[in-house]
Amino acid sequence: MAEVIIVRNEEEAGEIYGRCVADLIKAKPDAVLGLATGSSPLAAYRALAKIVHEEHIDVSKVRGFALDEYLGLPLTHPESYHSTIHRTVVEPLGLDPEKVHVPGDVLNGAPLEDGDKIAAAGPAYDAAIEAAGGIDVQILGIGTDGHIGFNEPGSSLASGTRVKTLAEQTRIDNARFFDNDINQVPTHCITQGIGTVLKARHLVLLAFGSGKAEAIEETVEGGVSAFCPASALQLHPHATIIIDEEAASRLRHKDYYRYAFAHKPAWQGI
Ligand SMILES: N[C@@H]1[C@@H](O)[C@H](O)[C@@H](COP(=O)(O)O)O[C@@H]1O
């Protein structure tokens, strides 16, 4: 069972993540952070940046690996995850851009037809994560269909980084970043696999709002199933799920989660 923490709002969730990662970097200056795009982690990145600046934490050695990237977008496209990660994480935190990697970096807009290049990029990315000693803390959002990274329903729970076809629901959800025009949303992506995600030492999944309530119910209290990729977190020995009341609204055991967190010894951290 993952630990479920129910918070008042995104800021409170962000502070919990920020404190956890700031302490990690103090103890391990070359920590490896797993990074995610989407709106859910933004308050967490802001909270971490605030602590880093206030406490003068040296982040020059911190390394990062993002979860996923669209296929076919040049790195310079404002909605490429390369651009997004640099804008929302690398710059505000003051990380060394050379130490932060996004799965599509080597592809830089290569077309889907460029099979050899694209097929090699996934295993090379997993090898790079391994060579870095593995990810210490992986932050995750969740799609309304339960996807993590871009692992859509049906993804193998043992998958490594590879190319996937985006679900239509995901393209609809993400059209807001592309002038609300679904035709501009790429059809394919390269994403860390669920097996890759499960290798990180600590997973922190954030979800807010009623739109995520069903996906959170399936993730936390449903069976482990490829049809809700986030349910794979139930297999991880150290997963923390931080959600607001709306995202928690369908959980049956809310009272227990609240009770357990309120009575947790401080030394355990998250
Ligand atoms: N690939 C990303 C996911 O990593 C993210 O979790 C999801 C939810 O985004 P949001 O947090 O904006 O709801 O969006 C995209 O599909």
pLDDT of 1: 63
Give the position, in ligand 1's atom list, of the atom nearest the Cα of 150.
1
With a threshold of 0.90, tell me whether the complex ipTM lies above it. yes
Say if CB 58 and CB 29 are below 8 A apart: yes
Cα–Cα nearest to 57, from 27, 97, 13: 27
The pLDDT mean for the chain works out to 96
**Phi, psi (deg, nearest 5) at residue 33:** -100, 135
Mean pLDDT, to the nearest integer, of 195-214? 98
Triad 224, 230, 234: Cα angle to 5°: 50
pLDDT of 214: 98
- Confirm or reject CATH 3.30.420.40 for domain 3-268, answering yes or no: no
- Residues of the chain above pLDDT 90, percent: 93
Say if CB 149 and CB 41 are below 8 A apart: no
pLDDT digits (tens, 9 = 90+) for 140-178: 999 999 999 999 999 999 999 999 999 998 999 899 999
Q: What is the residue with the minimal CA distance to atom 10 of ligand 1?
A: 38
Q: How is the chain split into domains, by residue range?
A: 3-268
Ligand 1 centroid, distance to 54 Cα (angstroms): 29
Question: How many Å apart are CA 15 and CA 57, to the nearest integer?
Answer: 16
Give the position, in ligand 1's atom list, of the atom nearest the Cα of 40.
11
Q: Which residues are catalytic?
A: 68, 145, 147, 152
Amino acid identity, position 206: L
Ligand 1 centroid, distance to 217 Cα (angstroms): 17
- Residues of the chain above pLDDT 70, percent: 100
Query: Residue 128: left if φ>0, alpha if ψ -120 to 50, beta else—which one?
Result: alpha
Mean pLDDT, to the nearest integer, of 204-233? 98
pLDDT of 112: 87
